[in-house]
Structures are given as C-alpha cells and as structure tokens.
Amino acid sequence: MKRILVVDDDKNIRELIKEYLEQEGYYVVAADSGWAANKAKKKDKFDLVLLDILMPGMDGRTTYMAMKFEDGEFVDAPPVLIITGYSDHRYTKQLLEREPGVKGILKKPFTLDELKEKVQEILGD
C-alpha cells in the first residue's frame, strides 16, 4: 500500500484529500503545518508528499528543504506534488524548476479526478 503525506494548513482541504485518497486505497497521514510534516516524516516513510506552499510559520518551500536535511545530512526526500492556489508564485516556480523531487503542481481548486490522475501519474499506479 502506497503511503502519502498530505500537508496543508486548510483543515477542509486536508481532510477532503485524506478521505478521498484513503477510499482510493492509499495509506494517508495528514499534517497541518511544516513542523508536523517533518515530524511525521521522521516516524514514517512516504511514497509521495502533497504539499501546500503558502502556510503560516514554516511555508511549503522551507518544509521541503527540511525534509531533505536530517540529522545534519542530506537525505532522500519523497517525491512532492505541490498543491496551491498560487501556481505562479515565485517559490512554486523555483521548486518546480530547481528541485528534481518536485514532480508537479496541482492548482487549487482542483477536482478529485485531477488529484487522482496526478497521484497515479507520480506513483506509477
């Protein structure tokens, strides 16, 4: 069973994605912040991270960079699908252009079919 970490500060979006992907047969952990996401990553191994970019505190870009650096060393981070309402945001573009682990952007609002298609594309399902 593929494991997915959903990181979004919007409770409604986070819960909708979690519930839907669980119905599709994935194991899903939801985190409401970058700190919670990195804590979850230390406890579990994920095949994919769905990551919001604009979050209070630790934004998505910082969260992604923290996932790549653990205990003073660079580590393999799971592939990332950015979920954001700001696809033209400079951090989003920089991540997509410069980070090979970032596999795409899903612009909010999106349909559940679009979500499923993108997740399956990245995971090879």
1-46 pLDDT tens trace: 999 999 999 999 999 999 999 999 999 999 999 999 999 998 999 9
If one counts the domains in the chain, the total is 1
Cβ–Cβ under 8 Å, residues 53 and 86:
yes
The CATH number given to whatever domain includes residue 16 is 3.40.50.2300
Which residue segment(s) compose the domain that 102 sits in?
Answer: 3-123
d(CA 120, CA 25): 12
Rounded to 5°, angle at Cα 12 from 83 and 53 = 25
The helix or strand, by DSSP H or E, that contains position 73, with its residue range, turns out to be strand 73-74
pLDDT at 71: 67
Q: What tens digit of pLDDT does each residue of 63-90 get? A: 988 888 876 677 788 999 999 887 666 6
Provide the greatest CA pair distance for the chain. Answer: 39
Residue-wise pLDDT tens digits, 38-50: 999 989 999 999 9
Q: What is the pLDDT of residues 108-124, one digit of tens each?
A: 899 999 999 999 999 99
Considering the entire predicted model, what is its pTM? 0.90
Cα separation, 100 vs 112, in Å, equals 25
Strands 80-84 and 73-74: unpaired
Q: β-pairing, 73-74 with 69-70?
A: antiparallel
Closest CA to 6 of 60, 43, 70, 76: 60
